[in-house]
Structures are given as C-alpha cells and as structure tokens.
Amino acid sequence: MTTETAQERWVGRALKRKEDPRLITGKGKYVDDIRLPGMLYAALVRSTEAHARIVSVDASGALKREGVVAVLTGEDLQFESGLPMAWVPPGVEVNAPDHWPLARGEVNHVGDPVAVVLGDDRYAVVDAAEDVIVELDPLPVVTDIRAAMEEGSPLVHEQLGTNVSHRWSLGGGDVEAGLAQADVVVEREVVNHRIAGAPIEPRGVIADYRAGNLVLYSSTQVPHFLKLFLSLMLGMSEERIRVIAPEVGGGFGSKLQIYGEEILLAAVSRRLGRPVKWIETRSENLAVSHHGRDQIAHVRMGATRDGKITALHAEITADMGAYLMLLTPVIPSLGAFVMSGCYAIPNVQTDIVGVFTNKMATDAIRGAGRPEATHMIEICLEQLAAELGMDPLELRRRNFIPADSFPATTTLGIVYDSGNYEGTLDKLLEHIDPAQVRAEAQGLRERGIYRGIGFSTYTEICGLAPSRVVGPGGVGLQTGLWESALVRVDLTGAVTVYTGTSPHGQGHETGFAQIVADKLGVTPDTVRLIHGDTETGPVGKGTYGSRTLAVGGEAIAKAADKVAAKAAQIVAHALEAAPEDIEVSGGKFAVKGAPSKGMTLAEVAGAAYIAADLPPGMEPGLEETAFYDPENFVFPFGAHAAVVDVDVETGKVKIARYVAVDDCGPAINPLLIDGQVHGGIVFAVGQVFFEHVRYDEAGQLLAGNFVTYGLPSAPDVPTFETDRTETPSPTNSLGVKGIGEAGTIAASAALVNAVIDALRPLGVTYLNMPLAPERVWSAIAHAGTDNGGAA
C-alpha cells in the first residue's frame, strides 16, 4: 500500500491487497487456529451405508477411552426445527424430507452423521469414534437419477412416496412452434457431472456456550444466516448469539450452507457447558460438504438456414442427493433465468425435475446453475454452427442481443441491465486469430496432435438481490437479499467500514477501501474493513452468487456518501460556504473553485466529535449506516476462447492457450478481477478434465480424497490471457457487476468446444465432461456414433 495522498481516484487502480501481509507470514487466523480454554474436540461417527435403518448405537467402548467425555446420538439432542431449506416457490410443491444434525432412525447417504464423540484430546476422539459400534440394517439404494424416477425404484424417503422433489418450469414463447420453424435442430444430452467445492481449508466450527450466550466460530460464507438458524433451531433468542467467520480459506459455495455440524456443536456446547471444536477432514469434506452440478439435460436448439436461432428447450433432471439443504432445489432454476444466454431467442423453455438419490445433497457451487446453462447453450450452438456450415462466431453475431437495445427484456421476461456482446467478442479477436490457430492446426496434425479452438460467449445473472424478485413473493426464497453497511470515521480521521458480506479470499478489504477512500478523500490504507462478525457490524446476507460488490459494495458506497454529505455540511459551516459547493478534491473536502480552502477528513472528524461548533441541529459524530436493495440483478458477460491440443493416440488434452475477455462494468481493482477470472477458469478446467464426485451403485463414494478427487495443480493449467471491456450497469451507482463466477460460467463450454473442434476431422461431434483421457480416446475410436462418450 502506498502512502501518497489521494491526488487521483483510487477506484480503478491495481492496488496490492491489504489482506496479504498477515496471510503471507502465517499470521492469518482460521477456525482451526483458534483454541479456547477447556475446549473439547468432536469427532463424528458417520454412516458407512448409503441407505439403512439405524438399529443400535453402542458407545460403551468409546466411553471407556481415556479423555472421552460423551457420545451423543440423534435421540439425545432435541432441536426446535430441522435443518433449513429456504425455497418455497409460489405454486410449486417441494417435497422436503426431515433433515437433522444427527440422523434419526435412518441414514440416507454415506457420511450421514449418526453420533458425535466428545473428548479433550484431538487424537483420542478419532480413536473413540472408531470404537462406536453402529448397527445398520441396509435398505435398498438408488444412486442414478434415471433409475430413481422409474416405477418401482427404491425410495430415498419412503414417507414421501416418490423420489421426485419438485417440478419447476420457466418459459417464454412456444418452443415447439419455434423448433418447427427451424431448418436445423440440434439435440443433445448434456451432462454436468457432480463436482465438489473443495476449498483448501476444510470446514471447521467452534461453539462456545456460556452463561446463556453462544459464540460460534465457523468457516462460513453466511454468518448472519447462521446466527438466525442457530436461534431458530436451538430455540435461543437471537441477541444471545454471536457468529464469527474468521479468516475463511475459500468457499466456492460449499460454505454457503447451514450445516448440521454448526448446529450440533452449539447444542453440544450448551449441553456440556464447554467449548467444542470440530475440524472437517478432507475425506469428510468430499463426502459431506455439499456437492454441485449433477444435472442431465435434454437440450434442443433450432435455427433457420440463415442462422437465426428459433428456439431452445432444456429439460433438466437434477440430482438433489438425499436431502434438500439451504438452496438445493433452486440451483437449476438459477440457470433457467439466463437459458437464452446472450442471444435474442424468441422461444425458450426450461423444465426442471429434481430427484432424490442416496448421495450427498447438491447445492450452490461456484456458478450454481449458470455454468450448466451456459454449457448447454454454447455446446449446442457450436454444433448448430457445424450443421449449418456456418462460422460459430458468425452464428453468435447473428443472434446477439444488440448493444443498443439495453436494458433488454428477454423472452423469459428478465431485464438484462447492460451489455455489449459484440464488443467483448471483437476485443477477444484482437488477442486471438482463429484463422491462424486453424493454420497451426494443419502443421501439428502430422505429429498426431489435433489442435482445436472453441468459444464461449456468455452472460450470467448475479448480484443476488433484488428482494422483491428473489424473495417470498417472487422466486420464493424465504428471505430478503439486500445488504447494509456502516461507515465510521474516528476522531483522527481513520475510517472503519463494517459490512455484512463475508469474504473468503476475494479481497474486499482492499476493494472496498478504494471505494470509500475516493468518497472521503483519504488513502485506502487508513480505511479498514470489518466483516464476518455478527456482533460488530450491521446485518448482511453473506458472500456468494457474485453479489458482494454489486450489493454490499453499493451499500458501502451509499453509507460513505452519507458520511461525505454530513462532512460537506460541517465544512460548509466552518468555511462559510454552501454545502453543495463542497467537493472531495486533493485529499480534502474543499470549496469548489478554491481548492486551497478546505478541510481534511481528520479535521472534519475533529469538528464532528468535539461538536463545539456544528451546524444548528446536527448530531455529533461521523458515522452512517445504509441499506441497499437493488432494483435489478446485474448481468456480467464476456467472450472466451480456448485452444487445445489433443494427443489423439492417448486422448490426452493440453490447453495451449486460453483467452478471456470479460465485462463486469468499471473496475474497482483490476488485479482482483484478473484473480477471480483466473481462478474461475481453473475451477472449470477441473470440472472439464479432472474432477468427478463418483459413487458406485451401492452409494459408496469413489472420490473421497485428493488422490481420487484430483484438483488441477500448477503444471496442469496454462497461463491465461485476460482483457476487459467496461460497460457500466445502470443498476447501481458504481456501475459494477459481479466477477467471482464468470470465469467458471464461461470456461467449460469453451474448453469442450475446443476439444470437439479439434476432433471434428475425425468425426467426433459430441463429448460430455469429464474429458478424462480414456473418454476422449474412446470417442475418437467410436467417432460417428454420436453418443457423447459414456454418460
């Protein structure tokens, strides 16, 4: 952080992060780094069966172990309500089974917790958990969503009488009529297989209940929601609960959840009167932190001979897993809202059916529904181009919503705030010449290397809010989704900003400081952001869905504006000027046209707190709160290109180049944007090539550690080429849109399209992820059969 005075705007500059000094020296404090006096450790005894009745739990052996304090089961702990599911879509019935922190009577997936062992030694509780004898009476198991929908399938929840959780549709126009008008219709079964969030920090919880008050530390993305549900489930008045999200080591949606362990530890601490810590192992993380994706979509896309897309129909069967967790059933719907992508398609329909299986629940994982939707659209679009004999970029251009038509209402009734899809594509082509790539491909082929280029032009919907649209009367989430912020100026002019958003790597402390610094005429190094503590700041809804800047950042901007307005009044009063003539300039609140006449923020704060000579009627002090609930979502967009080299002898794919042009409105800090884009792309690279949460037919997890669930590492990915365009959003005053998920949303289609493009000369026209070498090799061997590889 430089200390130069604010001669210019801080917003837009690639400042290095305020967060980093503590993190690069090992001084960050994550949940497992916190130790409380008298703290117990918890280890969970989990189901080894995918579906079974619990016959008995014998803890006698475990209780004999030195240091073991208690073993508790589902029968021992009472809760006011079950674990939450937040979606009640108007007019749609959702079958939500009971879901408790510890299983009651029945387990429904491998890893379902049966008992908790408490003791005062971290190693001893693990030993004792192995001593707990759980007798399970196996029930029939179903893991395949197609099988689960068949007549006579085993039922995950007998009492529901069906494996279908819900059916939900969103459409506009008439897709059958639209498809009938088409000269070419592409039909694909697009599989978005199950993946894990897999943040490098597994989850962790410490509950400390004493004297009627609860302090709970959790590696969560949503401390305020957690506080609410602790109150509801434990029957505690909310003011007695404080939730702290300390340093959080990544989330990717997997920590946007109300987990049984969080509630359980609070209940156990209350019961035993001692603080309790639980740290998830990686095997647990892969088994029982919610998964993402797991949809099979039957997609039809039609176009006329001249390349006008007439209709798109996606019929999605989505695997819910065994329970409906916080947002489980609504995830596929998030994709449905942008099922027409960045194209003007007159007839669009998405039909979703949610299905229970004896697997861990799915829920939001980076992109949450929008990567799946983009994948469907962009894969089918490039196939459509191939069948039309048209350049895939030309087909896109013929269907882009024109830049001059924003805000644009889509067939689905969604209002896209702003966009310039031609602009991002044009900029992409400044960086990469498809003709040159194709020429290079010719030269490589004789060496057995097939080079291909694939594209993805996307838009997505984020900045979740607005409450009136996503809330109970709209989409049906049982909450508002605004943000609030408090900006406090100390006597010395130092600024503390409190936010209800909850970062876990995004760099909020830096970006938000830049916004506030400009508003108040100070340098970002004197602006500190406080987050992740329900007791020290205003209420908020957390960090997920690329919402933090567009909603939380705007709330901060508004609070800072209020502070600036009060400051202007104080300065005007002191300097005998009109408040409207005071502006922030040269590190001061200065009189317009007389820049030497002004007061620094410290001087203003001095006046505000000493309060000896304030304008009549003005309250002392210098801090303001703002709540912000936007009128619309924001819709980032962009154009990505991937170049891949396929070793056709082995099926192994190497990413030769990857170019991304994204538009998330005016940059607050370009460094942070690039970081999000890089990470977002690699998240998709993992899904496309390596990662797959697999279960066998008995519901046993086959990808339960980092050997069998392989994240890409540095040598598996390329260097990226990134660029931006800046089309402001009219939704908020900053003009900004989210960027946390865009890379992931865009990239899988670009990569898979590139592989298909490479192999088209060999007759491959269809590939489903994950593109393990054998699947690619097999697709080449069976080219022409058009089955997308094994499903």
Partner 1 sequence: MAPHVEISLTVNGERHTSEVEPRLLLVHYLREHLGLTGTHVGCDTSSCGACTVHLDGEAVKSCTILAVQCDGGAVTTIEGLAREDALHPVQEAFWENHGLQCGYCTPGMIMAAADLLKRVPAPSEGEVREALAGNLCRCTGYHNIVKAVMAAAEADHGDVRPPTPPDAAYETGEALKGGIGA
Partner 2 sequence: MIPVEFEYTAPETLAEAHRALQEDPEAKLLAGGHSLVPMLKERLAAPSRLIDLRRIGGLHGIERQNGTLRIGAMVRHAALASHVELGAVAKAARTIADPQVRHRGTIGGSLAHGDPASDLPAVIVALEGTIVVSQPGGGSREIPASEFFVDYLTTALAPEEIVIEIRIPAIEGAGSGYQKFNARHEDWAMVAVSATVVRAADGSCQDVRIGLTNMGSTPLRARAVEDALRGGALDGPAIAAAAALADQGADPPDDLAASSDYKRHLARVLARRALQEAAG
The answer to whether 656 touches 645, Cβ cutoff 8 Å, is yes
Q: Does 66 bind partner 1 (CB under 8 A)?
A: yes
Q: Which does 649 bind (CB under 5 to 8 A by kind): partner 1, partner 2, none?
A: partner 2
Count of residues near partner 1 by CB under 8 A: 58
Query: Six-digit token pair at 209?
Result: 């209940």
Instruction: State in angstroms the smallest separation of the CB of 72 from partner 1.
Output: 24
Instruction: State in angstroms the smallest separation of the CB of 83 from partner 1.
Output: 25
Instruction: State in angstroms the smallest separation of the CB of 18 from partner 1.
Output: 10
Map the footprint of partner 1 across residues 702-721, applying CB under 8 A.
705-707, 711, 713-715, 717, 719-720
The answer to whether 454 touches 379, Cβ cutoff 8 Å, is no
- Maximum separation of any 2 CA atoms in the chain, in Å: 85
Q: Which does 104 bind (CB under 5 to 8 A by kind): partner 1, partner 2, none?
A: none
Instruction: State in angstroms the smallest separation of the CB of 590 from partner 2.
Output: 57
Q: Which does 16 bind (CB under 5 to 8 A by kind): partner 2, partner 1, none?
A: partner 1
Query: Six-digit token pair at 135?
Result: 């007798």
Distances (CA, A) of 101 to 269, 520, 722: 14, 47, 44
Map the footprint of partner 1 across residues 274-303, applying CB under 8 A.
281-283
Measured CA to CA, the distance from residue 677 to residue 232 in angstroms comes to: 38
Q: Which does 506 bind (CB under 5 to 8 A by kind): partner 2, partner 1, none?
A: partner 1
The answer to whether 313 touches 299, Cβ cutoff 8 Å, is yes
Q: What is the CB neighbour count within 10 angstroms for residue 743?
A: 31
Q: Which does 772 bind (CB under 5 to 8 A by kind): partner 1, partner 2, none?
A: partner 2
Q: The sheet that has 483-489: what strands, in order across it?
A: 527-530, 495-499, 483-489, 623-628
Q: Does 618 bind partner 1 (CB under 8 A)?
A: no
Map the footprint of partner 1 across residues 108-127, applying CB under 8 A.
122-123
Q: Judged by CB, which is closer to partner 2: 162, or 283?
A: 283
Q: Does 680 bind partner 1 (CB under 8 A)?
A: yes
β-partners of residue 584 are 589
Cβ neighbours for 201, distance < 8 A, ≥ 6 positions apart: 30, 219, 248, 249, 250
Q: Judged by CB, which is closer to partner 1: 237, or 708?
A: 708
Percentages helix, strand, coil for the chain (3-state, rounded to 5) are 30, 25, 45
Distances (CA, A) of 346 to 187, 369, 379, 381, 518: 18, 22, 19, 15, 44
- Sign of CA pseudo-dihedral 367, 369, 375, 378: negative
Q: Which does 194 bind (CB under 5 to 8 A by kind): partner 2, partner 1, none?
A: none
Instruction: State in angstroms the smallest separation of the CB of 659 from partner 1.
Output: 13
Query: Six-digit token pair at 530?
Result: 């406080």
Measured CA to CA, the distance from residue 245 to residue 318 in angstroms comes to: 31
Instruction: State in angstroms the smallest separation of the CB of 702 from partner 2.
Output: 6
Q: Judged by CB, which is closer to partner 1: 126, or 232?
A: 126
Instruction: State in angstroms the smallest separation of the CB of 254 from partner 2.
Output: 20
Q: Which does 702 bind (CB under 5 to 8 A by kind): partner 2, partner 1, none?
A: partner 2
Query: Six-digit token pair at 328?
Result: 């489980």
Instruction: State in angstroms the smallest separation of the CB of 647 from partner 1.
Output: 18
Measured CA to CA, the distance from residue 147 to residue 356 in angstroms comes to: 11
Instruction: State in angstroms the smallest separation of the CB of 766 from partner 1.
Output: 28
DSSP state of 405: G
Instruction: Pick the binder of partner 1 from 113, 173, 249, 630 (CB under 8 A).
Output: 249
Measured CA to CA, the distance from residue 631 to residue 91 in angstroms comes to: 24
Q: Which does 678 bind (CB under 5 to 8 A by kind): partner 2, partner 1, none?
A: partner 1
Q: Single out the residue of 154, 625, 88 nearest to residue 327, CA to CA.
A: 88
Instruction: Pick the binder of partner 1 from 201, 294, 378, 741 (CB under 8 A).
Output: 201
Q: Judged by CB, which is closer to partner 1: 16, or 53?
A: 16
Q: Judged by CB, which is closer to partner 1: 508, or 528?
A: 508
DSSP state of 247: B
Binding mask 16-45 for partner 1 (x = CB under 8 A): xx-xxxxxxxxxxxx-xx------------
Measured CA to CA, the distance from residue 644 to residue 756 in angstroms comes to: 10
Instruction: State in angstroms the smallest separation of the CB of 117 from partner 2.
Output: 13
Q: Judged by CB, which is closer to partner 1: 162, or 705?
A: 705
- Residues within the interface to partner 2 (CB under 8 A): 122-123, 126-127, 130, 281, 283, 649-650, 652, 689-690, 694, 702, 707-708, 710, 712-713, 715-716, 772-774, 777-778
Instruction: State in angstroms the smallest separation of the CB of 720 from partner 1.
Output: 5
Q: Which does 575 bind (CB under 5 to 8 A by kind): partner 2, partner 1, none?
A: none
Q: Judged by CB, which is closer to partner 1: 7, or 25?
A: 25
Cβ neighbours for 266, distance < 8 A, ≥ 6 positions apart: 207, 209, 214, 216, 230, 234
Instruction: State in angstroms the smallest separation of the CB of 123 from partner 2.
Output: 5
Three-class secondary structure assignment of 156-210: CCHHHCCCEEEEEEEEECCHHHHHHHCCEEEEEEEEEEEEECCCCCCCEEEEEEE
Binding mask 180-199 for partner 1 (x = CB under 8 A): ------------------xx
Q: Name the E strands within 252-303.
A: 276-279, 291-303
- Sign of CA pseudo-dihedral 83, 371, 255, 75: positive
User: Which spans of this chain sit near partner 1 (rule: CB under 8 A)?
Assistant: 16-17, 19-30, 32-33, 66, 122-123, 198-202, 247-250, 252, 281-283, 504-507, 671-672, 674-675, 677-683, 705-707, 711, 713-715, 717, 719-720, 743
